[in-house]
Amino acid sequence: MIKVELHCHLDGSLNIDSVQEMLKDQGMIFTKEELRQKLEVRPDCTSLTEYLEKFDLPLLCLQTKEGLKRAAYELVRDVAAEDVRYIEVRFAPMLSTDKGLTCQEVIESVAEGLREAGQKYGVFASAIVCAMRHHTPEQNMEMFRVAREYLGSGVCALDLAGDESAFPTSSFRELFREAKKCGMPFTIHSGECGSVENVREAIELGAGRLGHGIALEKSIELQMLCRKHRIGIEMCPTSNLQTKAVNDLKYYPLEQFVKADIPVSINTDNRTVSGTTMTKEIELVKTRLHQPNEIILLCTKNAIETAFAEDDVKHQLYKMIK
Ligand SMILES: [Zn+2]
C-alpha cells in the first residue's frame, strides 16, 4: 500500500552520505560512523532539548542553494523508494540564511528540489515553512510574507516549531491570524511537551492539524473539538519516545485518538535524527502498539483527508489505496 507523510523535517532527514560530502566541501572530515553518532539520537536520549542538539550539523549543509535543493531532492527520492506517494516536507527558511541567502532563495531552492524529484519519482511533494519559536515576531512575519507568495506553487502551509515549553503558542497569535487572513493553512507543533494550553491555543487559532498532539490525551473536550473540526493529529511514535513526550509506548495515545474518531496520521518527524522511515513507523504501530492493518489504512486515509493538498491530488491518492 502507498504511504502518505505529513510531518517530516528536512534538516532532520538528510542523507548521511550527502552530509559527509557536503561537510567535506567545507573542510570538515568525518567518517560515516562519526557522522551517524553526531546526527542520530542515542536510544537513551533524555529530552527534547537533547534531541534538538542533533540539528546543528545538518544546518551547515543547508546554507547554499545547491545544498538546499540537493537535500530536498534526495529526501523525495529516498521516500519514493518506500512507496511514499505524497509528502509535505517542512523546514525553517530563516535557519538557512546564515551565510547570506535570502528567505526567497531558500524557499525557491527547496521547492525546486521537491518539484524535480517529485516529477522524476512520482511523488506529490510540497513544502511547509516553519516559523521558529525562538525567533522574533518580526523575523517570523518577514518569513511568512515571503512564503505566502509561494502558496500553491511549492509551499502548502505554515508551521511553528522549536522549544514549546520555553515559548508558548499564545505569543504567536498575530502570525497565525495573518496566515488565516491570507488563506494559508497551518499546522502547529502542539502538546509535544505536555502542554494542553498549547493544544487549545492551536485549535482556537484555527490550525488544520497539530504536530504530535500528545497532550490532547488529557482533554476530552479538546478531543471532541478535533473530531468535530476534523483537525489532524500528526503522530510520530519513534520521535515521541526519544524526546520523552511519552515514557513508554504502552501509554501512547494513538489508539485512544483513533477510538475518539480523530483523524490521526503516522509520520517520521526526522528520518535521520530518529533513525526511522515510514516503513519502520508503520511496523512499530502494528507490532508494538498492536494495531491491525485496518487501522494503518485508516491512518493513511486520515493523512489524505487532512493533507494540505488540492482536491484533485487527494482524489488521485484515494484511488491509489483502493
Ligand atoms: Zn516536528
137-159 residue pLDDT tens: 999 999 999 999 999 999 999 99
- For range 285-310, the mean pLDDT: 98
C-alpha 183 – ligand 1 centre gap (Å): 22
Residue 180, amino acid? K
Ligand 1 centroid to residue 270 C-alpha, Å:
7
Per the CB < 8 A criterion, the answer to whether 232 and 303 are in contact is yes
Question: Which residue among 40, 192, 217, 234 is the active-site one?
Answer: 192
**Residue 112: what pLDDT?**
98
Residues flanking ion ligand 1, Cβ below 5 Å: 269
d(CA 259, CA 262): 8
| Cα of 160 from ligand 1 centre, angstroms | 9
**Under 8 Å between Cβ of 296 and 285:** yes
What pLDDT, on a 0 to 100 scale, did the predictor assign at position 140? Answer: 98
Beta 232-235 vs 209-212: how paired, if at all?
parallel
Write down the pLDDT at residue 7.
Answer: 98
- Specify the fold of 3-320: TIM Barrel (3.20.20)
- For ligand 1, the distance from its centroid to the CA atom of residue 241, given in whole angstroms, is 13
Torsion sign across C-alpha atoms 239, 240, 243, 247? negative
Report pLDDT digits (tens) over 40-67: 998 888 887 788 889 999 999 999 999 9
**Ligand 1 center to 275 CA (angstroms):** 14
Residues 93, 106 contacting (CB under 8 angstroms)? yes
In this prediction the pTM is 0.97
Q: Residue 168 pLDDT more than 90?
A: yes
Q: What is the pLDDT of residue 45?
A: 85
User: What is the number of alpha carbons within 13 Å of residue 243 lying toward its C-beta?
Assistant: 26
Residue 155 near residue 147 (C-beta atoms within 8 A): yes
192 as an active site residue: the answer is yes
Q: What torsion, rounded to 10 degrees, do the Cα atoms 37, 39, 40, 42 define?
A: 60
Q: Provide the pLDDT for residue 48.
A: 78
Helix or strand (DSSP H, E) at 178:
helix 173-182
* Cβ contacts of 94 within 8 Å, gap of 6 or more: 103, 132, 135, 139, 140, 142, 143
